[in-house]
């Protein structure tokens, strides 16, 4: 009965593939939104300023990213609730309220980064930020409130294929792959404040605090069942690996072009030069288009996800299917985030690259808070039953918390010393 078995195995494969395709999404989408304006900028700056020397960070980063995202999906699948809901129910209103204030602040800095990405990319096309920002802010608000976001999501996702330009460039520039490989596995460290800042940026942009909330909500919304959980995990792993591969290729491209010829990134135009080997004189347009897509995509998701989570935690009505009178706090928060996010960038002569970089470093400061909440929740037997964290997971995530705090302190201290 050799052939019979073969057929059976085959049909199991197809069935599994089908289940995976139906469960897939949250991990991949979160991963792609992760490569937002702040992400592209931070990776570019890291490559242009430090060559390959920060590449080693991506192996541990990928592991931690997958572990953290996996924890979120697991909590979402097991409890059927969002992270903000769980925080409220476990820690009470007071802690939730202050956690939400930090959360809003952190997401505001990220929203600001998305709008600076929009401004920077439009400036490459020669459009003034005083034109591009109001238009994009209204566009973002309108698309989301009118409930058409779901239909544009696919367009954004498709446009994320533009990142492949970096992968192509990475091969075109013919780097010394042995050097790259060596840099991947040789940890290097420097107490130079800029180095520490960019390191914080890399961590903060790859594992942004808002992603945990977003990931968990998407898993809940998708209604993934416990029995299909292993497929959701695969989704997270694939997403996490894709983010890191693209990040690595952005760094390789920038290191092989900008770093080599001593160009430092001051404006988005400089960053675009990394794509020159691939796109020649069209590199600026290609880069600008990719950046615009990434920024708009994230600018739609971030304020919406923030408003949802905050209202969820504080027990206010939320949702774009509600009327403004029914959910005033929700609409206020959502609108305020967009208005402030776009408004800050209108400030004349603001260094957009710096804004994007700092916002991602700020993520690394806020991340430990989120992780501690997650660790307490996921180890709560009453909540998670048999799906609590393994000891290995706990050790990795606690170590991440400690290292992040240490890194932030180190940066603060060295920056203070350097100033004086």
What residues make contact with another protein under the rule CB under 8 A? 79-82, 85, 88-89, 92-94, 96-97, 147, 220, 223, 314-315, 317, 321-323, 326, 382
CB closer to another protein out of 86 and 243: 86
CB closer to another protein out of 54 and 378: 378
To another protein, the closest distance from the beta carbon of 28 in angstroms equals: 20
To another protein, the closest distance from the beta carbon of 378 in angstroms equals: 16
CA–CA dist 397, 60 (Å, integer) = 12
| Residue whose pair of structure tokens reads 């699948």 in the numeric block | 77
To another protein, the closest distance from the beta carbon of 68 in angstroms equals: 22
To another protein, the closest distance from the beta carbon of 321 in angstroms equals: 6
To another protein, the closest distance from the beta carbon of 32 in angstroms equals: 23
The one-character DSSP state at 189 is -
What is 127-178 written as a DSSP string?
--HHHHHHHHHHHHHHHHHTT-HHHHHHHHHHHGGGGHHHHHHHHHT---HH
> Are 298 and 37 a contacting pair, CB within 8 Å?
yes
CB closer to another protein out of 54 and 320: 320
CB closer to another protein out of 266 and 326: 326
What is 290-320 written as a DSSP string?
HHHHHHHHHHHHHHHHHHHHHHHHHT----T
To another protein, the closest distance from the beta carbon of 264 in angstroms equals: 47
CB closer to another protein out of 104 and 314: 314
> Are 206 and 61 a contacting pair, CB within 8 Å?
yes
Residue 159: CB atoms within 10 Å:
17
Residue 335: is it exposed, middle or buried by C-beta count within 10 angstroms (0-12/13-18/19+)?
Answer: middle
CA distances from 122 to 117, 269, 290 (A): 8, 11, 11
Closest of 88, 115, 113 to residue 99, by C-alpha: 88
> What six digits make up the tokens of 30?
């979160």
To another protein, the closest distance from the beta carbon of 220 in angstroms equals: 6
To another protein, the closest distance from the beta carbon of 385 in angstroms equals: 9
CB closer to another protein out of 187 and 315: 315
CB closer to another protein out of 187 and 223: 223
CA distances from 325 to 16, 308, 317, 321 (A): 45, 16, 10, 12
* Cα 404–Cα 100–Cα 225 angle in degrees, nearest 5: 85
To another protein, the closest distance from the beta carbon of 319 in angstroms equals: 9
CB closer to another protein out of 6 and 92: 92
CB closer to another protein out of 192 and 326: 326
């Amino acid at each position: 009965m050799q052939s019979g078995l073969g057929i059976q195995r085959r049909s199991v494969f197809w069935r599994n593939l089908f289940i995976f395709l139906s469960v897939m999404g949250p991990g991949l989408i979160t991963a792609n939104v992760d490569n937002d304006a702040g992400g592209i900028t931070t990776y570019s700056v890291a490559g242009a300023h430090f060559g390959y020397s920060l590449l080693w960070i991506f192996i541990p980063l990928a592991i931690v990213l997958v572990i953290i995202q996996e924890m979120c999906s697991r909590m979402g699948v097991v409890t059927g609730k969002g992270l903000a809901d769980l925080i409220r129910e476990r820690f009470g209103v007071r802690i939730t309220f202050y956690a939400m204030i930090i959360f809003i602040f952190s997401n505001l800095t990220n929203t600001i980064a998305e709008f600076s990405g929009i401004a920077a990319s439009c400036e490459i096309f020669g459009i003034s930020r005083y034109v591009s920002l109001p238009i994009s802010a209204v566009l973002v608000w309108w698309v989301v409130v009118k409930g058409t976001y779901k239909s544009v999501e696919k367009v954004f996702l498709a446009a994320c294929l533009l990142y492949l330009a970096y992968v192509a460039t990475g091969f075109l520039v013919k780097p010394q792959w042995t050097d790259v490989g060596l840099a991947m596995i040789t940890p290097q460290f420097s107490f130079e404040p800029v180095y520490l800042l960019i390191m914080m940026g890399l961590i903060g942009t790859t594992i942004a605090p808002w992603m945990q909330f977003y990931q968990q909500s998407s898993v809940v919304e998708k209604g993934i069942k416990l029995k299909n959980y292993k497929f959701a995990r695969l989704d997270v792993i694939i997403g996490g690996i894709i983010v890191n591969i693209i990040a690595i290729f952005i760094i390789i491209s920038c290191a092989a072009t900008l770093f080599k010829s001593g160009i430092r990134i001051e404006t988005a135009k400089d960053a675009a030069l990394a794509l020159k080997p691939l796109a020649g004189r069209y590199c600026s347009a290609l880069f600008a288009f990719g950046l615009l897509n990434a920024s708009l995509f994230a600018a739609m998701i971030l304020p919406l996800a923030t408003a949802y989570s905050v209202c969820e935690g504080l027990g206010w009505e939320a949702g774009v299917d509600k009327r403004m009178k029914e959910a005033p706090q929700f609409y206020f928060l959502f609108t305020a985030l967009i208005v402030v996010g776009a408004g800050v960038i209108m400030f004349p002569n603001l260094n957009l690259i710096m804004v994007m970089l700092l916002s991602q470093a700020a993520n690394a400061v806020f991340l430990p808070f989120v992780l501690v909440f997650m660790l307490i929740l996921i180890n709560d037997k009453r909540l998670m039953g048999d799906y609590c964290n393994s000891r290995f997971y706990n050790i990795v995530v606690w170590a991440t918390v400690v290292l992040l705090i240490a890194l932030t302190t180190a940066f603060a201290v060295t920056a203070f010393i350097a100033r004086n």
